[in-house]
Amino acid sequence: MGQDLLANQAPIDRKMKAVDSVAFRQLLQTEATEMPGTDLYQDWDNRYVSRVNGILPDEYRIDLRGFHMPTTSRVVTSNFGARWGRQHKGLDIKVYIGDTIRAAFSGKVRIVRYEPHGYGKYVVIRHDNGLETVYGHMSAQLVRENQEVRAGDVIGLGGNTGRSTGSHLHFETRLCGVALNPALMFDFKNQDVVDNFYTFHKSSYDRESAQATRLRGVSGSAVAEPRANTTEMASVTQTKRNTVSGNSRFHKVNKGETLYSIARKRGTTVDKLCKLNHIGKNFRLTPGQVLKYN
């Protein structure tokens, strides 16, 4: 009777395995549809930002829905692209030390590191849509490697660590390790993404990137880190480039400027500058720092 029972059970077991296999394949197909970025990368590495084992496709559609702006700041202080003989591979966004930095999309934290001569304290997140985002120069990292995060989760605090001359967020968007212009996808001035989807095309990327910078970048050349030999005339020219966001106005500190000279130039008082920027009268200014004066 035992042998008969086993014999009768065998076909049922085979059928169950077949059902399990079908269900498993359907699950994989569903995951591939919901997370198309999983097919772009062949490995998971916690050491390098750009050396990612993946092949940049000629064309790739990136789902930007479900985003969250990494900061509420609307002030872009430096563009993506060539800057003083080297490539600036992200956007610099004005934030103050301690400001909240959030994950742009849901995903998994790949890198949490400190690079004293580069990104400073930074975080890299790989997202389900295929993008990776990089958050640099933070004062604190509030996530750990291999941690799952949701869009809008707090991942760090604004800072001035690493190769930086003033507190700001260095924000990158990368595809297969290659830096793409965040202005193609993010509009910080309007605190929104440009569209629900962005389709990357190798053949037209350079032209589209330049156009996005003109539309959504800071006017003129990148201004995050001024040259040490800035003249008074350059200072006046730079003043015209200071960013206006709503009713708030900002001044970028040039070499040799003090709170008193800035207050005179902007028609305000040192006390008001200190109150607006949460600093003291003896606070040491650095070239490239951005101060709110109204």
Lowest average pLDDT, out of 8-22, 86-100, 150-164, 191-205, goes to 8-22
| CA–CA gap between residue 187 and residue 194 (Å, rounded) | 6
Cα 267 from chain centre: 35
Question: 280 and 192, same structural domain?
Answer: no
Question: 269 and 124, same structural domain?
Answer: no
Lowest average pLDDT, out of 90-99, 193-202, 228-237, goes to 228-237
The pLDDT assigned to 42 comes to 81
Q: How confident is the model at residue 265 (pLDDT cuts 50, 70, 90)?
A: confident
Q: How confident is the model at residue 285 (pLDDT cuts 50, 70, 90)?
A: confident
For residue 81, give both structure tokens.
Answer: 């692209």
Could you report the per-residue pLDDT of 58-73, keeping only the tens digit for each? 999 999 999 999 999 9
CATH number of the domain to which 238 belongs: 3.10.350.10
Q: C-alpha angle with apex 282: 244 to 225, nearest 5 degrees?
A: 45
In the predicted model, what is the mean pLDDT of residues 216-232? Answer: 45
For residue 205, give both structure tokens.
Answer: 């990327």
Domain total for the chain? 2
Question: 148 and 71, same structural domain?
Answer: yes
Longest Cα–Cα distance of the chain, Å, equals 101
Q: Which domain holds residue 176?
A: 59-216
Q: Map 197-266 to HEC letters.
A: EEEEECCCHHHHHHHHHHHHCCCCCCCCCCCCCCCHHHHHHHHCCCCEECCEEEEECCCCCCHHHHHHHH
CATH number of the domain to which 169 belongs: 2.70.70.10
Question: 129 and 239, same structural domain?
Answer: no
The answer to whether the beta carbons of residues 166 and 286 sit under 8 Å apart is yes
Could you report the per-residue pLDDT of 13-23, keeping only the tens digit for each? 555 555 566 66
Question: 182 and 84, same structural domain?
Answer: yes
The pLDDT assigned to 24 comes to 56
Full-model pTM: 0.65
Residue 288 lies in a domain: yes
Specify the DSSP class assigned to residue 253: P
Residue 192 lies in a domain: yes
| CA–CA gap between residue 157 and residue 199 (Å, rounded) | 31
Amino acid at 191: Q
Residue 237 lies in a domain: yes
Question: 241 and 178, same structural domain?
Answer: no
Question: 246 and 206, same structural domain?
Answer: no
Question: 211 and 114, same structural domain?
Answer: yes
Residue where a domain terminates, one of 216, 250, 268 = 216
Say whether pLDDT at 293 is over 70: yes
Question: 180 and 98, same structural domain?
Answer: yes
For residue 61, give both structure tokens.
Answer: 């559609």
| CA–CA gap between residue 45 and residue 163 (Å, rounded) | 24
